[in-house]
Structure formats: structure tokens, C-alpha cells
Amino acid sequence: MEKNNFQIHGHEPEIHVNRPPGQKFWQKQGPFSLWYFVFMLIMLYFFQSAMQIKREQIPFSQFQKYLEADQVSECVIGEKVISGTLKLMDPKTGKPRRFITVPLYNTALANALDRHGVKYTVAIETHFFRDLLVNWILPFAFIFFLWGILSRRMGTAGMNFLNIGKNKAHIHAENLPKVTFRDVAGVAEAKQELEEVVEFLKNPARFQRLGGHMPKGVLLVGPPGTGKTLLARAVSGEAGVPFFNISGSDFIEMFVGVGAARVRDLFDQARSKAPCIIFIDELDAIGRQRGGPVALGGHDEREQTLNQLLVEMDGFDTGKGVVVLSATNRPDVLDKALLRPGRFDRQIVVDKPDLKGREEILKIHTRELKMGPDVDLGVVARRTPGFVGADLANVANEAAIL
């Protein structure tokens, strides 16, 4: 199972939202971003065109006549053209006429301007397309490229700065193999207690008729590798409901408020998919006791995430069929507010399997293996005291490889 991706196991057509391996940022963005970029360039072109001042083109000889007649108020001398304003008024607009001409430089030009008291400046001629490229296209292209690099490094799909508080989900199809209680062994007591959760998800009206309600949270406690996550998936498979799986560490980011936003988004999605199961693995990553040293910068993002989780668990109605399952191997560090009635008020211990449990686990993991007739799984179980489900699965795999 993937630990770092938020997943939903349910009964809808498969929807991929993560970028496929090897796909480039601009390929992932699709044609929308490309057309958006082209549209932006077109708008910049018309903006630059609108900003261009309309001028009357006149011969240089006519400019000299205006100058000698003292009809030039000001001008700008460029590399290739001279532009400026005449003292004559435009009859259509009632404003001074503007002109542009190609100069034929001579030594008497500056003297003539000074003699007639014309205010003039010398400037480098501007080039529209060059200025558009340097001032607009290249900066925006660099920002677009930098945004793509940051998005890929952040490991999320789409514009992650806009969706950083969202949970990215896969919805797996119904024909994918499910995990049921038949695939779980060595934890008979835990399975028996979880059957009540399955019954509630299948037939919630039964509990409601009696005036009772299902616990909002069930905490699976046990050493690593004992099958806590597998049990949660088996509950989902038995009940036939969507399964939201996320690790506690996935809520925490370097940005303040992201964890709380992801908690809100997770419960919003769960309500829309009810009845369903929310499974939070490694709950101790966000559920540690509060009141410790404040994080760098004066704000503890983990505590804010925990507070939002407490609020959400108080806010949803168990009658809608949303059950929260969590797993941890460190229940002693959890905040007391999490374990009070109305939240994770039921704890189920998932301990290491005994001799019979280890033999049952070995039978599950060797179902698809071709074994010799002399293989005795009971002997293997007796020689692996203290092994958990993950260890026994590794033993079976190593035997197949060898």
C-alpha cells in the first residue's frame, strides 16, 4: 500500500489525478494552459498597440519647413526617426498634431532647433517586438517554467500552490481485488470486534432503531507489521464502502494552515461519499499531546492540525455512516482529547500472532506459491516466534525467490 498518497477505495470508475511518471509539466497542464499563454500574448500585443501614439508621417523637408516657420513645439530625436508635437491643432481632435519623420542629419539641425527655441530630446528608438519579447514574453515564460519546476518538486498534481490544501484522490474501480477478513489471519479477536463496525456500515438502521449509535472513532493499537492497515481495508471490503486512506504525516507541511485545510477537505469528501471509512495511519504523527515546546517561528502547525481533527470528529453525525479508523503503535503519546468518549473512544489491540495465528498467516501468503509436498507450515510457524504478519510475508517471499 502506498503510504504517502491519499487514496479512496470504492466503487466508481477509476479517476487519475496524479501526473503519470515521466510526464512533463506543460504536458500535464494540457491545451488549456497553452491557449491561455497564447491568449495572454495576444492581449499584450493589442495592449502595446493601443498604447502606441498615432502620429502623422511627414517628409523631412516638411519637418524643416515647420521648424523654420516656428510651428514645432517639441520633438524626440531617435536613431532612425524624429517624432514630436506641432503647434498646429488637429481639426478633428482639437489637440496639437503629432508627427513622425525620417531625418536626414546635417550639422545645421541642432542649431536650427536652438535658434527657434524648440524643446527637443535625444532618445534611443524603441522596437515594439523586441520590447514585447524582453519585457513581457521572457519574464512570463521564466515564471511559467519556474512554477513547473516547483510543482514537480512539491509532488502534487496541477497548480499545487492553488490546491495545496486539497487531498489528491484515486477512486479505484469495483473490479479491483478487495481485501476481506479471509485475507487477514492471526488477529481473531480484533476481527470479531471489527465485525460490529461492518454491521453498522451495512445496516445502520438496526442500531438507530435501538436508540444507539456507532462509536465515531476506533483506534487500532499494536506493534508495527501486525496488520492494522490490512484490517481497516478488510472492514471496507466486507462492508463494500469507499475507503479513505491517509498517513498522519501527510497532513503536515511547511506552510502554516495546510494541515488543517487538508483535514477539512478529507472530512468533506468523506461526507459526500458516506457511508465510508476514513483510515488515518500513524495517528501519533498529528495526535501527540499538546503543550510541548512551540515550533520554530512561534506557531505549531501540528497542534493546529490536531485541533481541526478534534473539531471535525465532533462535527459529523455517525448516523450518516462515516467511521474513522486509526492506527498507532504509540498510544501513550496521544492527546487525551482524542481518546475521550465521542472521538476515539474504542481501542482494539492488534497484538503479535500466536503459534496458530502464524500458521494461518503463512497459509495466506503461500496460497499462490508452488511448494513441495514436504513443506510443513506448522514447523515454520514453530520456528518463527515473535514474528508479525509482515515478517512472515517476507519469509514466504524469500523462500519463493530462493
Same structural domain, 308 and 364: no
Number of domains in the chain: 3
Same structural domain, 143 and 198: no
> From CA 102, how far away is CA 334, in angstroms rounded?
82
Q: What is the pLDDT along the chain (402 residues), one digit of tens a residue?
A: 333 344 444 444 333 334 444 444 444 444 555 666 677 767 766 665 555 566 788 877 788 888 888 888 998 887 778 888 898 888 888 888 888 887 766 657 767 777 777 776 655 556 667 776 777 777 777 887 777 777 666 554 444 544 554 554 444 434 445 788 888 888 888 888 888 888 888 877 777 777 767 778 889 999 998 888 888 888 888 888 888 888 888 777 666 667 788 888 888 888 888 788 888 888 888 888 877 655 454 347 788 888 888 888 886 665 567 888 999 988 888 888 888 888 887 888 998 998 998 999 888 888 888 888 888 888 888 998 989 888 988 988 888 887
Q: Are 357 and 187 in contact (CB under 8 A)?
A: yes
User: What's phi and psi for 19, nearest 5 deg?
Assistant: -70, 130
Has residue 16 been placed in a domain? Answer: no
Find the domain containing 390 and state its range: 356-401
Has residue 302 been placed in a domain? Answer: yes
User: Taking the complete model, does pTM exceed 0.75, yes or no?
Assistant: no
Has residue 9 been placed in a domain? Answer: no
Same structural domain, 246 and 374: no
User: What's phi and psi for 171, nearest 5 deg?
Assistant: -110, 110
Closest CA to 305 of 246, 339, 257: 257
Same structural domain, 361 and 378: yes
